[in-house]
């Protein structure tokens, strides 16, 4: 692959912020884009040779053959493009993190079936090279202009992300686009070059809290203590598992194991969890406990009746009754059609 920017390449990253940064007085300093909740992907194309690089620089190419075909059909013959892979839900109305995560599968036959049944798409938001030219040292605003020009007319699989200099519009995107499964807003310094691996951008993500019942735990695979705390919510007739919190210090894991072991339903009682598609022989079982403890967690959004990403444990809530922790407490954003988000991106 003979390109001016070659793999492996770390993508430029972002730091978290609580609000969309405002434009300073005078000339604008920020370019705003929707935050796509998919797999970060840098596309390298040199003629028929295509590589899809992940955030950690490992290739995604074999898992998304339909995207490779679309890159050959829709992108310039020699280019490097930063963007995001996503899979629409079956009704096409929003992003589906669950379907996207299933696309990473070790079996070639399964990869082919998933590419046919749940095809992915690619949304581009930065152009790093075009033809013989390395664009990474050019300012963000110039790269944006080059991106929209080079990818004009792309589709139906490749899209160019919407972007704006209008803070008010970006703030509206933050609220409305969540209904289509997007994750927030990203702000990029207009004058900045592309700096691989550095946190130059600003990201504003949705954050909410919920009070959940602790229904069980899994022990850590390599450290003494709890690996994850399983969380549930009441629906009226049952308690459904909505996810698990797993980000704990080593000391906290040991404390949790001692605390939760005292609530076990029996020494040998275990429940079977969903099998691990990466390691078919891995133990997916978990230990159920008496549903007496309530904790508050921070989460971004729901997918069905589960947290889309792992929530973050905040604190215990001894003042809450487990039966009061219901699905109804969770905020569901107003619906917004993914097609309407993409309609302004080509």
**Residues involved in catalysis:** 35
Nearest to 75 by CA among 52, 57, 100, 108: 52
Strand partners, 88: 95
Instruction: Compute the C-alpha angle 55/166/179, nearest 5°.
Output: 60
45 touches 72 (CB < 8 A)? yes
Nearest to 243 by CA among 282, 214, 200: 214
38 touches 182 (CB < 8 A)? no
At residue 136, the 3 state secondary structure works out as: coil
DSSP alpha helix (H) spans, the chain: 65-74, 97-101, 108-117, 140-150, 167-176, 250-261, 338-343
18 touches 206 (CB < 8 A)? no
178 touches 301 (CB < 8 A)? yes
Q: At 172, list the tokens.
A: 């509206």
In angstroms, the Cα distances linking 344 to 83, 146, 338 are 16, 17, 11
- Evaluated on CA atoms 43, 44, 50, 52, the torsion sign reads negative
Nearest to 41 by CA among 7, 74, 89, 78: 7
- Other CB atoms within 10 Å distance of the CB of residue 23: 18
340 touches 177 (CB < 8 A)? no
E-assigned strand segments in the chain: 13-16, 30-35, 39-46, 49-54, 78-86, 121-130, 133-134, 158-160, 184-189, 199-205, 208-219, 226-234, 239-245, 287-288, 294-299, 302-303, 306-307, 312-316
At residue 33, the 3 state secondary structure works out as: strand
């Amino acid at each position: 692959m003979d390109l001016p920017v070659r793999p492996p390449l770390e993508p430029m990253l972002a730091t978290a912020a609580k609000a969309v940064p405002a434009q300073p007085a005078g000339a604008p300093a920020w370019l705003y884009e929707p935050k796509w909740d998919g797999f970060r992907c840098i596309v390298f194309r040199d003629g028929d040779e295509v590589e899809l690089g992940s955030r950690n620089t490992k290739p995604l190419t074999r898992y998304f053959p339909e995207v490779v075909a679309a890159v050959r059909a829709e992108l310039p013959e020699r280019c490097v493009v930063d963007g995001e892979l996503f899979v629409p839900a079956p009704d096409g109305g929003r992003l589906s993190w669950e379907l996207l995560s299933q696309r990473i599968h070790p079996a070639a036959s399964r990869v082919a079936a998933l590419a046919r049944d749940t095809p992915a798409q690619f949304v581009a938001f930065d152009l790093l090279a075009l033809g013989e030219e390395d664009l990474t040292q050019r300012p963000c605003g110039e790269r944006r202009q080059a991106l929209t020009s080079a990818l004009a007319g792309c589709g139906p699989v490749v899209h160019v992300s919407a972007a704006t200099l209008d803070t008010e519009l970006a703030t509206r995107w933050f609220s409305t686009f969540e209904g289509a499964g997007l994750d927030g807003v990203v702000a990029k310094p207009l004058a900045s070059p592309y700096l691989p691996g550095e946190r130059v951008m600003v990201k504003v993500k949705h954050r909410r809290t919920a009070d959940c019942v602790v229904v069980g735990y899994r022990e850590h695979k390599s450290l003494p203590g709890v690996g994850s705390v399983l969380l549930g919510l009441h629906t009226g007739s049952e308690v459904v598992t909505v996810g698990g919190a797993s980000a704990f210090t080593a000391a906290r894991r040991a404390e949790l194991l001692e605390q939760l072991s005292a609530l076990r339903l029996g020494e040998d009682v275990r429940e079977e969890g969903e099998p691990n598609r990466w390691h078919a022989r891995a133990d997916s079982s978990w230990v159920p406990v008496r549903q007496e403890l309530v904790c508050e967690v921070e989460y971004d959004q729901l997918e069905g009746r589960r947290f889309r990403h792992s929530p973050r444990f905040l604190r215990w809530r001894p003042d809450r009754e487990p039966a009061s922790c219901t699905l109804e407490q969770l905020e569901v954003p107003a619906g917004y059609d993914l097609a309407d988000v993409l309609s302004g991106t080509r």
